[in-house]
A = this chain, B = another copy of it.
């Protein structure tokens, strides 16, 4: 049952509990959030918006909408080697949102706060005549000088990616009816990967001082590694056959050339793609096993420019698009 609400009532009842344990959030009763950096610590900031109909679907469960908003921003922190500290939330609410929806939304965030070690430090709610729009600003911290940049990939590096690629794209395609649906646990897995990505926070910390360059895979594996190659002034070769695919994705979409191209350009993965020098593979794999995060070598950094996807014979696969774009 829809019930409209005043802004302050909303903040107090629904969002304040998310800030209960946060020093510097003042229980959301002040205008700003205060952050007290530890000595020698640097602060990492990322702002990221989700728009209904663009980044999520109106019929997505409210709990996962909040979780996706938070996890997307935290994924950027993970890729940079930062530990999450806090987040701010700005939410523009259309008429169709009722209190029940918001309560579920907050419940999802609450569960994520516990799981991911982060808390709400400040928030703002507004009305909008348009789509539900959620902006999360994530705040992380790391020791001085330890930020892992996009720049820094060097010829001779191996390229790695965490987890599996293409699941979220397949999940969305099923939800949108663009692909033949599968049933059961595999279907649930792919949709869950679309709605509730897994920021690789533990692995990101382990990459400090090891990875030369890193990025989170949001626009698509090829497009995002393209950014790394561009700013690092190197060429990145991705072996399409090496791209890790989940069993669910194989069941849904096969593991053929076309399926791999779709996976590598779909986006919304929120895995970490990074480069590291020879010798780093063994400690990285060990840490991946310890944290339950798959880490797969998928290519190499060479001299040159651009990013290419190679087939099993080493020939470049021509791509119509390199990633997902909202425009």
Q: How far is the CA of A29 from the CA of B231 in the complex (A)?
A: 8
- Provide the bound-state CA to CA distance between A4 and B326, in Å: 11
Query: Could you tell me if A51 and B127 are in contact, using CB atoms closer than 8 angstroms?
Result: yes
Chain B residues lying within 8 Å of A89, measured Cβ to Cβ, are: 47
Q: A7-B327, A54-B126, A126-B54 are in contact. Are A45 and B35 (CB under 8 A)?
A: yes
Determine the chain B residues whose CB is within 8 A of the CB of A82 once the complex forms: 32
Q: Are A128 and B126 in contact (CB under 8 A)?
A: no
**Pick the contact of A26 from B54, B135, B149 — CB < 8 Å?**
B149
Q: A37-B43, A46-B122 are in contact. Are A31 and B129 (CB under 8 A)?
A: no
Residue contact A34 to B43, C-beta cutoff 8 Å: yes
With A6-B325, A7-B327 given, is the CB distance from A147 to B34 under 8 Å? Answer: yes
How many copies the complex holds: the figure is 2
A156 at the B interface (CB under 8 A): no
Residues of chain B contacted by A29 (CB below 8 angstroms): 150-151, 227, 231
The reply on A168 being an interface residue by CB < 8 A is: no
Smallest CB gap from A48: residue in B = B124
Q: Does A21 contact B (CB under 8 A)?
A: no
Query: Complex Cα distance A137/B48, Å?
Result: 11
What separation, in Å, do the CA atoms of A231 and B44 have in the docked complex? 31
CB of A59 within 8 Å of the partner chain: no
Determine the chain B residues whose CB is within 8 A of the CB of A4 once the complex forms.
Answer: 327
Query: How far is the CB of A5 from the nearest CB of chain B, in Å?
Result: 7
CA distance A76 to B26 in the complex (A): 15
Contacts of A140 on B, CB cut-off 8 Å? Answer: 32
**A31-B150, A76-B31 known; A36+B26 contact, CB < 8 A:** no
| Given A45-B122, A47-B122, A49-B133, 8 further pairs, Cβ under 8 A | A5-B327, A30-B149, A31-B216, A35-B43, A45-B121, A45-B137, A129-B131, A130-B131
